[in-house]
């Protein structure tokens, strides 16, 4: 009888499987690329502070936001697109079209900036919504549709003008020169403040709204999202609509930054945005990623360029070389971490 009771009584030792499961839950592999990005950024900042005099200052780090504000905004929109499992190659061309339309209407036709700014934002939003509708309604590949959008938007720039159109309007020049004091002598531009607001709003949308949760679900498995009754069709259109809006807003910021409209503005910026998103820890297959990671991905690109500028002996093309190497490393890291992720 005692033998039977001993056999049926639970063992006081925890099962090995339970122990392994608790360890896996304590460190989820999907967070590791984001942690790697933040750690590498901190390492580069520390390295620059040790190597170069004046690198460790508030203004140097705030300049990363000021100089890359437009890239932060467009990368936020790209994050939602990639999280859904798609891609948007039109963002750079939409930025150029926004600058060209703004410059043409303000300088050549005498429009007020109060009318131009809402118009270009609406234009970019409608452009993104149209591409999203084509992708969802006709089940077309996002790569092809947004590639067509890239050529279309870039071509429309040259229909307006083949030359650069400078902006002399007082509103644009004043906004480009405004600096908001932060502490001491450090300050930020209005564009940097807009970029931070966009990042905070995007974090809220991604993690605290049904739209954001649906985007993650679609990126994980669109068929599963459909079976769960989620609004997949409207969300896919909304993702590209959001990307179009972010591209137009980035175009407005870029207009303040350059004070001109030109068809050659922002060439290749879509690749910088994708690189920032990937370096920030978002999987190109969708379903895993963080807007905060994208912010650090952009700052990573900025701090690489800053380090090269402080060095003074390296060509600016070394920025591309380092970014390319980082992309290879982060793609391998993503593959490694996802292969070790626990399967449900």
Residue 22: inside a domain: no
Residue 20: inside a domain: no
Residue 168: inside a domain: yes
Per-residue pLDDT of the chain (344 residues; tens, 9 = 90+): 444 444 444 445 444 444 444 444 555 667 787 888 899 999 999 999 999 988 989 999 999 999 999 999 999 999 999 999 999 999 999 999 999 999 999 999 999 999 999 999 999 999 999 999 999 999 999 999 999 999 999 999 999 999 999 999 999 999 999 999 998 889 999 999 999 999 999 999 999 999 999 999 999 999 999 999 999 999 999 999 999 999 999 999 999 999 999 999 999 999 999 999 999 999 988 999 999 999 999 999 999 999 998 988 877 788 889 889 888 888 887 777 666 655 44
Q: In this structure, what CATH number is given to the domain that contains residue 213?
A: 1.10.3470
Query: For the chain, where are the E strands, in sequence order?
Result: 165-166, 179-183, 186-189, 260-261
Residue 134: inside a domain: yes
Per-position DSSP letters for 117-130, written without gaps between them: HHHHHHHHHHHHHH
Residue 283: inside a domain: yes
Residue 160: inside a domain: yes
Residue 288: inside a domain: yes
Burial grade of 103 (CB within 10 A; 0-12, 13-18, 19 or more): buried
Q: Specify the number of domains making up the chain.
A: 1
Containing domain of residue 182, as a range?
30-340
Tokens 């179009």, residue located: 244
Residue 99: inside a domain: yes
Q: List, in order, residues 6 or more apart from 18 with CB less than 8 Å away.
A: none
Of 90, 99, 171, nearest to 135 (Cα)? Answer: 90
């Amino acid at each position: 009888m005692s033998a039977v009771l001993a056999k049926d009584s639970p063992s006081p030792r925890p099962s090995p499987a339970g122990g392994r499961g608790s360890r896996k839950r304590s460190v989820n592999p999907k967070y590791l690329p984001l942690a790697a990005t933040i750690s590498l950024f901190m390492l580069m900042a520390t390295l620059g502070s040790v190597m170069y005099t004046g690198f460790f200052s508030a203004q140097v780090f705030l300049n990363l936001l000021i100089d890359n504000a437009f890239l932060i905004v467009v990368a936020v929109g790209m994050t939602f697109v990639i999280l859904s499992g798609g891609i948007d190659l039109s963002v750079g061309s939409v930025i150029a079209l926004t600058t060209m339309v703004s410059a043409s209407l303000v300088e050549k036709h005498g429009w007020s900036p109060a009318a131009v700014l809402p118009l270009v934002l609406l234009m970019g939003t409608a452009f993104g919504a149209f591409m999203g509708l084509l992708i969802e309604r006709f089940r077309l590949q996002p790569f092809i549709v947004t590639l067509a959008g890239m050529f279309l938007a870039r071509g429309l720039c040259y229909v307006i003008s083949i030359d650069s159109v400078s902006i002399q309007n007082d509103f644009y020049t004043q906004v480009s020169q405004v600096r908001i004091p932060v502490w001491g002598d450090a300050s930020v531009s209005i564009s940097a403040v807009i970029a931070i607001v966009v990042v905070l709003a995007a974090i809220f949308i991604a993690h605290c709204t049904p739209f954001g949760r649906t985007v993650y679900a679609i990126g994980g498995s669109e068929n599963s999202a459909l079976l769960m009754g989620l609004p997949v069709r409207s969300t896919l259109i909304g993702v590209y609509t959001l990307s179009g809006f972010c591209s137009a807003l980035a175009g407005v910021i870029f207009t303040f930054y350059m004070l001109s409209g030109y068809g050659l503005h922002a060439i290749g910026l879509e690749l910088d945005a994708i690189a920032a998103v990937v370096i920030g820890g978002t999987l190109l297959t969708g379903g895993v990623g963080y807007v905060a990671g994208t912010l650090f991905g952009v700052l990573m690109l900025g701090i690489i360029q800053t380090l090269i500028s402080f060095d003074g002996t390296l060509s600016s093309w070394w920025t591309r070389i380092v970014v390319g190497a980082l992309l290879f490393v982060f793609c391998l890291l993503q593959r490694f971490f996802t292969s070790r992720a626990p399967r449900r």
